[in-house]
Copies of this chain bind each other. A is one copy, B any other.
Amino acid sequence: MSPPSSSSGSSVLIVGSMAFDDLDLPTGPARNVVGGSATYASIAASFYAPVRIVAVVGDDFPNETLELLGARDVDCAGVERAKGKTFRWAGRYAQNLASRETLDTQLNVFADFRPKLPSHYGDSRIVLLGNIHPALQLEVLEKTKSPKLTIADTMNFWISGERPALLDVLAKVDVLVVNDEEIRQLSGDHNLRRAAAAVMKMGPKRLVVKRGDAGAMLFDEHGIFFSPAYPLENEVDPTGAGDTFAGAIAGYLARAERIDANTFRQALMIGAAAASYCVEGVGTTELVRVSRDHLSGRLRDLYALLDVDRA
C-alpha cells in the first residue's frame, strides 16, 4: 500500500481564483503578480498532500505557473483556459500593512466561470471551497462524491450581497474559515464568542477565525483554541496569507490519519507557519522557495510561542 501522501484518496480539491494582482506595497509597486485564492491555497496544501485545482485562467496566464504547480503534485486538469484575460485585482496597502484598499477588480474570464470537475477529482478526501461566489461553491460541492471534510472560505462581499446562497453553503460544509470582521458581519454580533456560536448554528461544526498578526481561533465542540501568528521581523506582502493558511490546513488534514480535535489544532499551527512565509515575499515568491523542512522549523518556533509549564 502506498503512503497516504501519494494515494489519490488523500487529495485536496481546491476551487478558487487564479489571478494577476497589481500591488502597491510599502516596499514599492509590484505588477502582474500571479495570485488568486486557488494559487496560494494549492501551493500551501501541496506541502502535505496531492492537490487538484478547479479554476479558470485567460490566455494571458503563464504556462510556467501551471508547470510549477504540476511539479509540486498539483493537478491542473481542472484549470480551464478560457478566451480572454485572467481575473485581475489591484490593491494598495497601508504603510504598516495592517489595512488595504481595493483599487480595481476585473473579473474577465472569471465572469462566466462555471466549475468543471475532471472525473478523477471525485474521490478527493478534502474539499476546500476558496473565496468565490457561493453559488459556484455549491456547484462544486454537488459534484464531489463524499469528501471526508469540506471547508469553505468567504468574504464581506458575499456576506452582504449573496447571503441566501452563502447560507446554503454554510448548511452543507463542515468548516468555515473567515476573518474577525467577516464573522461579526455574518452574525451581526461584535462579540467573537457569541458570533462564533451564532455562525455554528448556521451549519459548520468548526469555525476558524483569522485575526491577522494576532493569530487565529478555532471554535468547535471541544472548546476554543488560540493559535499564534508567527511574529515576523520583515513583513512584505500579506496578499494570499489567508488562502495560504486555509490551504495548508486542508493539506495537513488530507494527510492526517484521523481528523480529530487535536489534528485540527495542529492544522491551525501548520497554517500559521505557511502563512508566515507567504507574507515574507511578494506574491508566492517565498512560499514556493521554502522547503518542508523550513516549514517544520517555523512550526517549532510557533509551538515555542505557546511554551509554558503550568503552575
Contacts and interface: CB of A to CB of B under 8 A. Distances in A.
Given A211-B214, A214-B215, A215-B226, A193 B231 contact: yes
Contacts of A303: 308, 310
A231 B217 contact: yes
Interface stretch (A119-127, A167-175, A261-269): A261-269
Given A211-B214, A223-B304, A226-B306, A235 B266 contact: no
B266 A191 contact: no
A262 B308 contact: yes
Band of interface residues on A: 35 or more
Interface in A247-269: 262, 265-266, 269
Contacts of A223: 304-305
A269 B311 CA distance: 10
Interface of A: 95-96, 98, 190-194, 211, 213-215, 217, 223-226, 228, 231-235, 262, 265-266, 269, 303-311
Nearest to A262: B309
Contacts of A217: 231
In order of increasing CB-CB distance, the 5 nearest A-B pairs are A214-B214, A226-B228, A96-B190, A265-B308, A226-B305
A225 to B, nearest CB: 6
A266 B311 CA distance: 7
A265 B215 CA distance: 18
27 contacts: A96-B190, A98-B190, A191-B232, A191-B234, A192-B213, A192-B231, A193-B231, A193-B233, A211-B214, A214-B214, A214-B215, A215-B215, A217-B231, A224-B304, A225-B305, A225-B307, A226-B228, A226-B306, A262-B308, A262-B309, A265-B307, A265-B308, A266-B308, A266-B310, A269-B308, A303-B308, A306-B306
A311 B255 CA distance: 12
A136 B234 CA distance: 37
